[in-house]
Structure 1
Amino acid sequence: MTDSTAEPRPDPTRQTHLGMRPGELDGKWYAKYWNPVMAPLPEHVKEAISLGPQAPPLCLGLDGAGTLDRAGYQDLENGYSLFDDGSMHVATATHMPRVSPDMVDWWFWWHATETQRYKLWYPRAHLYAEWSGGAEEEVARYRERYIGGTSFVDEYVGNVPGRLAIRFVRPGSLGFSEDRLDPQQATAVCARVGFSDVPLDWGHLVHHVRLVDGGAEMRSRFWMGGSHVSPREGVSLTGELERVAEGVRNLGEAQARAMVVHCSQEMNHLAVFLPDIFDEFERSEQE
């Protein structure tokens, strides 16, 4: 996504609030999936946080993101690390019973077009969503519907509100072999993360999902701050934009911990209702 006067932006006057107001779900077929009660943080994530920052050599580098499609596990599957340039790396693993990789691809397309859908995902943190770009709905594979699109979202990470632009990119751009990503067996949701109100990117994310006994396993990775901060194409990092960039170059340990919690909570909550909402959607499409 390049920055220009024609570049899509979310409405700057948008109203955001946590939770659902009375009547906000009226007429929505998916209203029954709204559940503001979230499960406790998994024990393995609590343990990872309690260990504090992990040694940087244990972390997967962005240039090795594509190795997530290999069998087995890596040195750091849950936790975070801080680097000398101010960047942070975050890893979380989520077991998703009855979920398939194809369902996850569907979700990343379907949820982004409406704020109420986005709030289903993380009632305690998600505020607003708007979608721009991507393929038409008629594209058969769900993955192709969100790649190339941008999800503008407002959300809390910990107690810090953010207005974000999440631009979905092809898995191949991060080193994945796309012919190994059969959506019935595995998928990799890959994106560049930046701000929605200024032309600055400051992170990358990957959610690699593979089929396991009884469902799927999601292994999430984030690389944020430090050397991952850059202006968008055609924009110079000067003046006010440089000051904004300086604010996200060194995110700090509190933000890294909050990101571990955020990812784990939202993905575990999604896993609870995703199989049922996906099945209902698929049935309605076939009628």
Structure 2
Amino acid sequence: MSQRPVLTPEERALSYAKYYDLPITPIPQEKLAILEGGPIDPSLALKIEDRNDLFLPGYLPCETGYCVMPNGTGYLANRTEMPGVTPEMFEWWFAWHGLNDMRYRIWDPEDHFYARQQNPDKVLDPSVPMREKTWGTVHHVLEDIGGGPDELILNFRYPHELGYDESKVGTPACATMMCANGHGPVPGQGVAAIMTHMVREIEGGIELRSRFWIGYGLVDGQVVKLLPDGVSVPPVVPMGLFAHNLKEFGHLAAILPSLYAEEKDRW
């Protein structure tokens, strides 16, 4: 467990600073068993070419797990139930948390350091619908997914830009979606990934179905494999990101209902 930095007086004065002090929500035992059980069979993974299968009713062969694919790319999936959370809350969270470092830090006080929205004017424009406040914006983040703090650039995209059927977003098939082309601070260096967080409403809340395809990126408007042929992502990479995803979204599920009630009108 990482040591949490002591807050400055300015940070401590923020209305949501109390969330920084909460213990991290424990990862459910059934998910820890998946993490500790090792990689899934790659044949159970959702190929990036089939990503629109996320809109199909029911569930795919594997909703929670990680692996290295036969072509060397990394993959992980995680389904998180979020009781008491609505799609609107989830959309608000993605818009809200990038406007102040502490907002990102309360998401995972042990591993998150900052998330800085590069397009705050769009987020703060009252004419922009809540889910679109994140679409088409860029977050610069610093987080630790197991190998020490890493700087990342998350280029959030409109779903159609990443090959999704955007007409299904806002329907029973998909209440909302956040997807991004992520890479290191220097494009072309380090490991890139396509990230998707897809939400469906369930009884009493929502389910978040996350997918990461490591080694892929967006080039000239097309999602392509960036990992050179013959090169393979080390298994520790998807495993570390999987463990981090289990931790951060389990904790977000626990804090989001009360955080939204208290902060939804404070931008």
| Aligned residue runs from structure 1 range 126-141, under 5 A | 126-133=112-119, 135-137=122-124, 138-141=126-129
The one-letter code sitting in structure 1 at the alignment partner of 2:212 is F
The answer for the alignment partner of 1:194 in structure 2 is 183
Which of these residues, 246, 249, 256, is aligned with residue 264 of structure 1?
Answer: 246
**1: CA distance, partners of 2:195 / 2:50:** 13
Which of these residues, 174, 193, 198, is aligned with residue 203 of structure 1?
Answer: 193
Q: Which deviates more from structure 2 when the two are superposed, residues 173-182 or residues 159-168?
A: 173-182
**2: CA distance, partners of 1:154 / 1:254:** 19
The answer for the alignment partner of 2:160 in structure 1 is 172
The answer for the alignment partner of 2:203 in structure 1 is 213
**1: CA distance, partners of 2:46 / 2:192:** 18
**1: CA distance, partners of 2:133 / 2:171:** 13
Q: CA deviation at 1:58?
A: 1.1
The answer for the alignment partner of 2:223 in structure 1 is none
The answer for the alignment partner of 1:223 in structure 2 is 213
Q: Deviations over 1:91-136 (max 9, x none)?
A: 1111101001111111111101211111010111001221112624
Give the conservation status (yes or no) of the 8 Å contact 1:63–1:175.
no
Q: 1:211 to 1:195 in 2, by over 3 A?
A: same
Q: CA deviation at 1:87?
A: 1.2
Q: CA deviation at 1:172?
A: 1.9
Give the conservation status (yes or no) of the 8 Å contact 1:96–1:217.
yes
Q: What's the TM-score once normalised by structure 2's chain length? A: 0.85
Contiguous gaps of at least 5 residues in structure 1: 1-16, 234-241
Q: Could you tell me the percent identity over the aligned residues?
A: 30
Matched, 1:109 2:109: no
| Aligned residue runs from structure 1 range 49-88, under 5 A | 49-88=35-74
Give the conservation status (yes or no) of the 8 Å contact 2:196–2:210.
yes
Contiguous gaps of at least 5 residues in structure 2: 221-225
- 2:199 is paired with a residue of what secondary structure? strand
The answer for the alignment partner of 1:161 in structure 2 is 149
